[in-house]
Chains A and B, each alone.
Chain A
């Protein structure tokens, strides 16, 4: 429901095409990270652009090979961390020096020095939530249905296989050609996957 609402608002990342494609794409299954990388590079050279790799652990070089931009997560975390800092200052100043003034041992009602620990802790707390929830948002987690799982060997991606999907959204997509192409790159099992 939220997705369809977002689609109506036209927010980036939530666009829904007028006609739903019948297929998700073609997925190939490779033995090693090196084979996967080689396949991605060959596919890029052949002109494919809408691709996704799946692996049981992050394979270095895949992002560059796929041409993925840098993750914007750092900025999100920075903003939230500074919000935590501001919140801690406001909380300690307002409760101690405005709403409930109580002189204890002749100390000032508000000072930076005794406020530092909580300023630090709240910055860290909000930054950590931002890192995790921001990562969930960027990765669209939780997503309990995804066309990728229609691939008969999708479980390999969490075990010992390295998968490469050429998606149907690719302008050069042609199921038979892509199948042949992935087979020629060394895929052990290539399959056209339903959307």
Chain B
């Protein structure tokens, strides 16, 4: 009889940690990745990432030594690929914070297998994003005086805090800082695990310093857990504020196509959408290369697909609403901008965006696709591309034809634009590869907590 009966509990909630007999197995499986020589796929990926990083160096050196005229930005499209890439990268970061903070507050236990890698991704994405506004100033070594209210003898003025661009500076720098703090706090117990496992004195010394002498005592956990909860609590409104404020850069202007109140929620949904796509793209590969199928289960991946389905549908709905409001406003400039978006010179970009962002997530209605790794991998890449095009469409199509037809133009990227964008992908991949090589890519102590819950549930407790 036993083999016929299916426990309804496990049927509805498949275990989140598979194949681990005890806590020690979890420690071993995750720590060993950082202790052994990386697999050959890691070197292959580094072989792709490092030349791209070099390209970023070349492009930025050329930009600084020549001037920002080497980018394609010009009147009327004063914001080109740089701000497109900035918004794209910031958006990607949002999934990390959503997973680490919001899903933590909602007690979504499945987050523990993916939060560490997603948070790392957030940090690296914010680092990539920061490059664009910094280098758009043309003189990045002076940018700190322009961006932050630092008293100095060379400007004798203060920033205009009534400008959304200043809000953006504060939002993005706060976001980067808080994400780094959150990530490090989460790492402390795992760094202590690596310290205690270290065979070589150098390793023990490095992880000893980094783990700050963590002992895992009950009194430490008490403050630690509250600190973690507070960080999750304040990161939740923070992550929602960041892309809202990024959207204010556009929404507070008077330009048709930008001047809309729908932007904050629409940008946040899009950010989460693109971020989950990036997390999925990366984790499918990491899971495969390091055989983490028992910790990052199909259930984790399926849940991520569901989040993409939900946020992708919100984004699609927002596109429709924008069009409707443009028509309903009876404002001819507004109407023109949207007709121009769909049928003007950038129609190719618009329809690419629509295909990737609205059509592709709809496949996730089918369980077969949600649980098929090749299918979700391909769809996640389509979503990454689509979300890049969304930002490009918003920026370029609104700017290139404004109120005065005499000033109309068409934006074309230069090789430096393309090189810088591809270069930041190289930077992102390099940082991510170094992260999975040297730090625990899955939160060891948190997974053990989930395993403990699982063990006590199986025993019939709770």
Contact = CB atoms under 8 A, between A and B. Distances in A.
Chains A and B form a bound pair: yes
A131 B227 contact: yes
Interface residues of A, number: 62
Contacts of A122: 170, 174
Contacts, number: 189
Given A99-B158, A118-B166, A159-B196, A142 B185 contact: no
Contacts of A63: 218, 222
A124 B178 contact: yes
A115 interface: yes
Q: Most chain-A Cβ atoms within 10 A of its Cβ — which of B149, B167, B174, B227?
A: B227
Interface string A94-134: 01100110101001000100110110111011011101101
Interface in B195-251: 195-197, 208-209, 212-227, 230-231, 234-235, 237-238, 241, 245, 248
Contacts of A99: 158
A21 interface: no
A124 B189 contact: no
A63 B177 CA distance: 31
Contacts of B221: 55, 58-59, 62
Nearest to B448: A57
A129 B161 contact: no
A10 interface: no
A56 B208 contact: no
Contact of A148 (B171, B217, B225, B444): B217
Given A58-B449, A91-B149, A141-B212, A117 B218 contact: no
A17 interface: no
Interface stretch (B21-29, B133-141, B323-331, B395-403): B21-29
Interface string B387-420: 0000000000000000000000000000000000
B218 A68 contact: yes
Interface residues of B, number: 65
Q: Most chain-A Cβ atoms within 10 A of its Cβ — which of B214, B225, B230?
A: B230
Contacts of B322: none
Contact of A136 (B192, B212, B444): B212
A159 B195 CA distance: 11
B223 A104 contact: no
A157 B162 CA distance: 52
Contacts of A111: 162
Interface in A70-104: 71, 73-74, 77, 81, 91-92, 95-96, 99-100, 102, 104
A138 interface: yes
Contacts of A159: 23-24, 27, 193, 196-197
A98 B108 CA distance: 49
B347 to A, nearest CB: 35
B321 interface: no
Contacts of A54: 215-218
Given A73-B230, A99-B158, A160-B27, A56 B171 contact: no
B213 A141 contact: yes
B287 interface: no
A177 interface: no
Given A139-B220, A159-B23, A160-B27, A121 B171 contact: yes
Interface in A133-167: 134-136, 138-139, 141-146, 148-149, 154-155, 157-160
Contacts of B197: 155, 159
A52 interface: yes
Given A139-B220, A142-B212, A143-B212, A104 B162 contact: yes
Nearest to A88: B170
Given A131-B231, A138-B223, 6 more contacts: A68-B218, A127-B230, A139-B220, A141-B213, A143-B212, A160-B22
13 contacts: A56-B445, A68-B222, A92-B161, A102-B157, A117-B164, A117-B170, A121-B241, A134-B227, A135-B223, A142-B209, A143-B212, A159-B24, A159-B27
Interface of A: 33-34, 52-59, 62-63, 66, 68, 71, 73-74, 77, 81, 91-92, 95-96, 99-100, 102, 104, 107, 111, 114-115, 117-118, 120-122, 124-125, 127-129, 131-132, 134-136, 138-139, 141-146, 148-149, 154-155, 157-160
